[in-house]
């Protein structure tokens, strides 16, 4: 996620300098398929160790199946949960 900034010789820790956790949670809490998909697109750029910080939260959203989550997003969340489980 910081790669474009490194090319310009700018050192930024996005997790320290920006409320990433709150933004990801807000994107998934909106219960909007569109915003949750955008959030997951952004989340995919995170490093593996940063993704682990969201493991429980992604699982909680995944369990909301049938309420507002479409099939494509549901399977994407399931795939991410399986990937995170392999990391732990």
Task: Give pLDDT tens digits for 13-63.
Answer: 667 778 888 888 899 888 899 999 999 998 998 888 889 989 988 999 999
Degrees (nearest 5) of the Cα angle 78, 36, 80? Answer: 25
Are 69 and 77 a contacting pair, CB within 8 Å? yes
Q: Does the pLDDT of residue 11 top 70, yes or no? A: no
Global pTM?
0.76
Give Dmax (Cα) for the chain: 46
- pLDDT band at residue 9 under the 50/70/90 scheme: low
Degrees (nearest 5) of the Cα angle 83, 87, 88? Answer: 120
Distance CA 52, CA 87 (A): 8
């Amino acid at each position: 996620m910081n790669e474009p900034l490194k090319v310009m010789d700018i050192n930024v820790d996005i997790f320290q300098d920006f409320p990433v956790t709150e933004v990801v949670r807000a994107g998934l809490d909106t219960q909007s398929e569109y915003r949750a998909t955008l959030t997951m697109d952004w989340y995919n750029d995170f490093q593996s160790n940063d993704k682990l910080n969201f493991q429980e939260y992604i699982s909680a959203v995944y369990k909301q199946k049938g309420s507002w989550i479409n099939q494509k997003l549901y399977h994407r969340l399931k795939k991410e949960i399986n990937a995170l489980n392999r990391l732990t």
